[in-house]
């Protein structure tokens, strides 16, 4: 991720979920290392009323992430849940997720196989990927021909 984004701001609820509570999850230690290296920063969103409003429909991490992205006028926001993505679009935010990052990594030759990474997400990390999204990702990366 650092190859694509020089600095990432992360909401405290996401930090808690990914690093503190998710220590055994794939990528957790890399996120912690990114913070130690200084290219990931944990930033509390200032607009708590917006966070509270968003929490009526979204989880705490998604709510804080959207509020923080609005506050920072972020270039891009990382969200995977469809409801959170719909809400972020209402605020005019540019969105990508894990699959978008992997598609970009495949196109730029940073990973040898998108299919292997998607299968690893599904099978090892328990990340839900619908068949339509799976097929579309392989198609846009050119791996549906493999």
Structure tokens at 119: 């299968």
- Tell me which H or E stretch contains 41: strand 40-42
Are 99 and 118 in contact by the 8 Å Cβ rule? The answer is yes
pLDDT tens series, the chain, 146 aa = 445 556 899 999 999 998 998 887 767 888 899 899 999 999 999 999 999 999 999 999 999 999 999 999 999 999 989 999 999 999 999 999 888 888 888 988 888 998 898 988 888 777 888 888 889 889 988 887 65
**Tokens found for residue 44:** 């509390």
Best CA proximity match to 89, nearest among 66, 72, 113, 111: 66
Q: pTM, whole model, 2 decimals?
A: 0.83
Please, is 137 exposed, middle or buried when counting C-beta atoms within 10 Å of its C-beta (0-12, 13-18, 19+)?
A: buried
| Rounded-to-integer distance, Cα 130 and Cα 9, Å | 28
Question: CA-CA distance, 89 to 141, in Å (whole number)?
Answer: 24
- The CATH label, of 3.10.180.10, 3.40.50.1010, 3.40.50.720, 3.40.640.10, for the domain at 8-96 is 3.40.50.1010
């Amino acid at each position: 991720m650092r190859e694509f984004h020089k600095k990432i701001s992360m909401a405290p609820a996401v930090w808690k979920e990914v690093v503190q509570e998710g220590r055994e999850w794939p990528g957790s230690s890399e996120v912690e290392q990114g913070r130690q290296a200084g290219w990931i920063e944990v930033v509390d969103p200032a607009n708590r009323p917006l966070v509270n409003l968003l929490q009526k429909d979204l989880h705490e991490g998604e709510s804080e992430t959207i509020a923080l992205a609005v506050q920072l006028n972020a270039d891009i926001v990382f969200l995977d849940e469809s409801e959170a993505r719909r809400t972020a679009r209402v605020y005019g935010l540019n969105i990508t997720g894990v699959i978008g990052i992997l598609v970009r990594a495949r196109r730029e030759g940073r990973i040898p196989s998108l299919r292997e990474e998607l299968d690893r997400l599904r099978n090892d990390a328990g990340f839900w990927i619908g068949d339509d999204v799976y097929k579309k990702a392989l198609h846009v990366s050119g791996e549906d021909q493999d």
